[in-house]
Structure 1
Amino acid sequence: MSVKILAIDTSTEHCSVALVVHSQWFVRREVSPRGHAQKILPMVDEVLKESGMTLNELDALAFGRGPGSFTGVRIGVGITQGLAFGAALPVIPVSTLEAMAQGAYRQAGATLVAAAIDARMSEVYWGRYRRQEDGGWQALESECVIAPEILVSQMNSEPESWYGAGTGWQAYQGELSGLPFRVDPGDVLYPDAEDIAFLATLAWQRGETVKAEEASPVYLRDQVAWKKLPGRT
């Protein structure tokens, strides 16, 4: 992994920064419901100093593009754009739901992950992922924001067991217990910059970067609630 990528995530109450430099990792993380805008830049400075790198020496910046807290996602986009403009770096947006799938693999070896973030308003941000041989993840449905009871009614029965990642499993334990497949909720509650950085390295290898001005958040609200991806039944 001969790439140098700095990733940040402020999409939930978990605030984190990670820097990967030729397979070496430098990470800062903190659960803090407020103050992300004040905490994230000092974290960036810390990992850069620890690694001996400067922004201008990096290959790209990555960020959790959502879904998540409206304010938190905007903070992450804005800070990433500011840093990228200053250092003339490309940007890699990464799904926070997919990042939780990677976190579940990193921490628990899970290869089938159902990610559910508490979206408030009696809804969850939802996505299911299957790990691929190259270390990436296949999304089984389009990520969405949806009421748990509607989600339950739209899911098909499956024999496979899933690792449940995210705060949605605790917030809507009763409602989601009606899903027609087994889910074992785990300890991965939030997206983390370390997993965003890992996924960004795969995106970098595929040439999937954007200009700083093209970096945009994904909120999901006011979009179509849920649909299967092409080829899924």
Structure 2
Amino acid sequence: MTQTVLLALDTSTEFCSAALVSASVDSAGQPTAEPRVWVRHEQTGAVSSTRLLPAIRELFDEAGLALADCNAIAFGSGPGSFTGLRTATGVAQGLAFGLNLPVVPLGTLLVCAESARLRDPSATRVLAALDARMDEIYWADYAWDDAQHEWRTVQTASLDAPQRLVLPDVPFTLAGNAAAAFGARLPAVAAARSVDGEALPHAVPLAYAALRAFHAGRTVPADQAAPEYIRDKVAQTTAERAAEKAAKAAQAAQTATQAAGHTPDGAPRQAPHGEAKQ
């Protein structure tokens, strides 16, 4: 048995979620007894960055532990809110650098699957689907492997219109908030054996999944921790906006020039053969 202390962070949604777990685990990273868990899960909207560090301090004070007692730091790597993902990544990196600890990045859709299984042990095939805004969903398909005590990825995290989600050919649980967001437009709602709209990104299921990942060696150095955006192009950079504006201005100038009877280089347009000059 090994005693493991792990800090888990998720700010991929409008919630600021942090959990500290102390667990005796076997060689597979499975708790041998009920872990001790301290958690803060608060709806903070867009200001998770101001609440996350105070929440972490509160957890360690409540547990009577110090940051130096940590063995690893896990974070929800996405998909999710761009700003939120950067917040969790940055805090996990900063703490891990300072303590020389490994980092455990875990996808938020897998965390939804873990949440569904914790809430219902029979949820061993989970289609996780989250509202991605812009009339799209983030989704992935997972199957629990009893022999390996781990999730197997059937379909990696994807971004699609609701009707394009691919349904498993076996009974499954639909996890996440996409059912509430899209209703009958999401075919999985009618096809699922059960719908768990409460199985959402949360630091506690993240911590449980991260314990297994940590003991399996699925960690990265702090400088390699990175968000998983999936939708990586929803806004232009300042340079891209300036370039687009300049291109539009140039096109408008060219159109105006041609309309005034000049070629694009400013020279008068030659009258076609047979056309009288004005």
Query: Cα–Cα, structure 1 residues 129 and 61, in superposed 2: closer, same or farther, change >3 Å?
Result: same
Amino acid at match of 1:32: T
Query: Cα–Cα, structure 1 residues 63 and 156, in superposed 2: closer, same or farther, change >3 Å?
Result: closer
Amino acid at match of 1:122: D
Residue 151 of structure 2 corresponds to 137
Post-superposition offset of 1:47 = 1.1
Equivalent of residue 79 in structure 2, options 54, 59, 67: 67
How many pairs are equivalent?
219
The CA distance in 2 between the partners of 1:35 and 1:91, in whole Å, is 23
The CA distance in 2 between the partners of 1:36 and 1:50, in whole Å, is 20
Larger radius of gyration: 2
Residue 138 of structure 2 corresponds to 125
Equivalent of residue 190 in structure 1, options 185, 188, 200: 200
The CA distance in 1 between the partners of 2:114 and 2:8, in whole Å, is 14
Q: In structure 1, list runs of 5 or more residues that go unmatched.
A: 224-233
Equivalent of residue 216 in structure 1, options 218, 226, 243: 226
Amino acid at match of 2:56: V
Residue 92 of structure 1 corresponds to 104
CA RMSD for the aligned pairs? 1.9
Is the contact between residue 141 and residue 155 of structure 2 (CA under 8 Å) also seen in structure 1? yes
Per-residue CA shift, 1:153-194, capped at 9, x if unaligned?
xx3662x32222111111111221367843522142421111
The CA distance in 2 between the partners of 1:171 and 1:137, in whole Å, is 26
User: 2:93 is paired with a residue of what secondary structure?
Assistant: helix
The CA distance in 1 between the partners of 2:168 and 2:59, in whole Å, is 45
Runs of 4+ in structure 1 over 3 Å off: 178-181
The CA distance in 1 between the partners of 2:144 and 2:55, in whole Å, is 30
Query: Cα–Cα, structure 1 residues 196 and 178, in superposed 2: closer, same or farther, change >3 Å?
Result: closer
Query: Cα–Cα, structure 1 residues 122 and 21, in superposed 2: closer, same or farther, change >3 Å?
Result: same
Percent of aligned positions that are identical: 38
- Taking the TM superposition and a 5 Å limit, the aligned residue runs for 1:96-115 are 96-109=108-121, 110-115=123-128
Residue 52 of structure 1 corresponds to 64
Bigger RCO of structures 1 and 2 (CA < 8 A, at least 6 apart): 1
Residue 29 of structure 1 corresponds to 41
User: 2:42 is paired with a residue of what secondary structure?
Assistant: strand
Residue 18 of structure 2 corresponds to 17
Per-residue CA shift, 1:71-118, capped at 9, x if unaligned?
111111011111111222111101110011111111222222111110
TM (normalized to structure 1)?
Answer: 0.87
The CA distance in 2 between the partners of 1:141 and 1:187, in whole Å, is 20
User: 1:11 is paired with a residue of what secondary structure?
Assistant: coil
Is the contact between residue 157 and residue 181 of structure 1 (CA under 8 Å) also seen in structure 2? no
Q: In structure 2, list runs of 5 or more residues that go unmatched.
A: 24-34, 234-278
The CA distance in 2 between the partners of 1:75 and 1:69, in whole Å, is 10
The CA distance in 2 between the partners of 1:14 and 1:131, in whole Å, is 27
